[in-house]
Structure 1
Amino acid sequence: MRGNKSPLFKRLPHVLCVDESNSDRSQMAEGYLHTFASTLLDVQSAGMQHHGLSRIAVQVMQEDGVDIRRHSDELISRDLLLWADLIITISGPSEAVHLPIPSSAVEKRWLIAPPAVTGDADPVIAYRHTRDEIKRRVQQLVNALKLSRGNAA
């Protein structure tokens, strides 16, 4: 039904979560957006490089009741950028994630360091901190979307 031209048909906004590797942070954001906003948004994630899905990211998300085991690490592409209405770029202070944002999309930047550089000796603890920060930001975004939809209704 994607091509329906009816004035009553409205597609869900497309959200693309991007980070350097698409192995943890963008996958977590995609997982939470699917969990909290599956009726509000169509979500995908991608990265600048292939690194494979982090097993620790999968573990800490399962601890919070979100299953990302079936996610795959995707490379960013021109088609994905053109697909997106909102591009959430997640990067740490030392990462250079610069995308050619199409004029049809809006970019939101989230400054969140990769779990490996958060300074925690235990990687699982580092991933939990990253997960919790991403969850907080996703909840803020979803709440704002719900408010704006409520005002538009």
Structure 2
Amino acid sequence: MKNKILILCTGNSCRSQIAHGFLKDFAKDKAEIYSAGIETHGVNPKAIEIMMDDGIDISNHTSNHMDEYINIDFDFVITVCDNARENCPYFPTTAKVFHHNFLDPAKAQGTKEEIYEQFKTVREEIKIYCKDFVDQNL
């Protein structure tokens, strides 16, 4: 039986989408991966670009609201920002809850190159987190 993993973020546009891509890649057939937000902001084009640069295509992902998954019995819930953790709904489940606050690359400012570097830094942090999560929990 596959583990069900939900990644929660504020808008399900960057951090949770990046984590979704990496968890799906690392977990292979060991898990079903879902991502959602406490709001929906659409998938950030820069998140798609930065993941494609690392060989993972998230261009077909959609931005989903957490209410869409309220009836799924998750094994793991991972919040990737403090806002999501603080506003995380009660899921009637025995899911193990994990949290790590990643900086929001969508708020990056500066030149195109500086913004790209901020996205890349966050991507690498999420990549390491996801690899460790799969190694330790699946």
Does TM, scored on the shorter chain, surpass 0.5?
A: yes
Q: In structure 1, which of residues 35, 58, 66 is the aligned counterpart of residue 48 of structure 2?
A: 58
Alpha carbons 1:27, 1:45 under 8 Å: kept: yes
Deviations along 1:41-99, one digit per CA (max 9) or x if unpaired, are 11010001111100000000001000000000000016446331100011047x84433
Please identify, of 24-33 and 107-116, the stretch whose mean Cα deviation from structure 2 is larger: 107-116
Select 1:140's aligned residue among 104, 111, 132. 132
Letter in 1 for 2:63: D
Distance 1:114 1:19 in 2: 10
Q: 1:128 is matched with which residue?
A: 120
The 5-angstrom pairing of residues 1-153 of structure 1 reads 11-77=1-67, 79-80=69-70, 82-92=72-82, 96-117=86-107, 122-145=114-137
Aligned mates of 1:145, 1:96 — CA distance in 2: 24
Aligned partners of 1:62 and 1:16: how far apart in 2?
22
Aligned residues: 136
Structure 2: how far apart are the matches of 1:38 and 1:127? Answer: 24
Structure 1 CA distance for aligned equivalents of residues 42 and 75 of structure 2: 26
8 Å CA contact 1:15, 1:86 repeated in 2? yes
- Larger RCO (CA within 8 A; separation ≥ 6): 2
Given the two structures, how large is their TM-score scaled by the length of structure 2?
A: 0.87
- The alpha-carbon distance between structure 1 residues 116 and 70, as it changes in their structure 2 partners (threshold 3 A), is closer
CA RMSD for the aligned pairs?
2.3
Unmatched 5+ stretches in structure 2? none
**1:119, distance to aligned residue in structure 2 (A):** 6.7
**Equivalent AA in structure 1 for residue 122 of structure 2:** T
| Separation (CA, whole Å) in 1 of partners of 2:71 and 2:80 | 15
SS at match of 1:74: coil
Give percent identity, aligned residues only: 26
Gaps of at least 5 residues in structure 1 are 1-10, 147-153
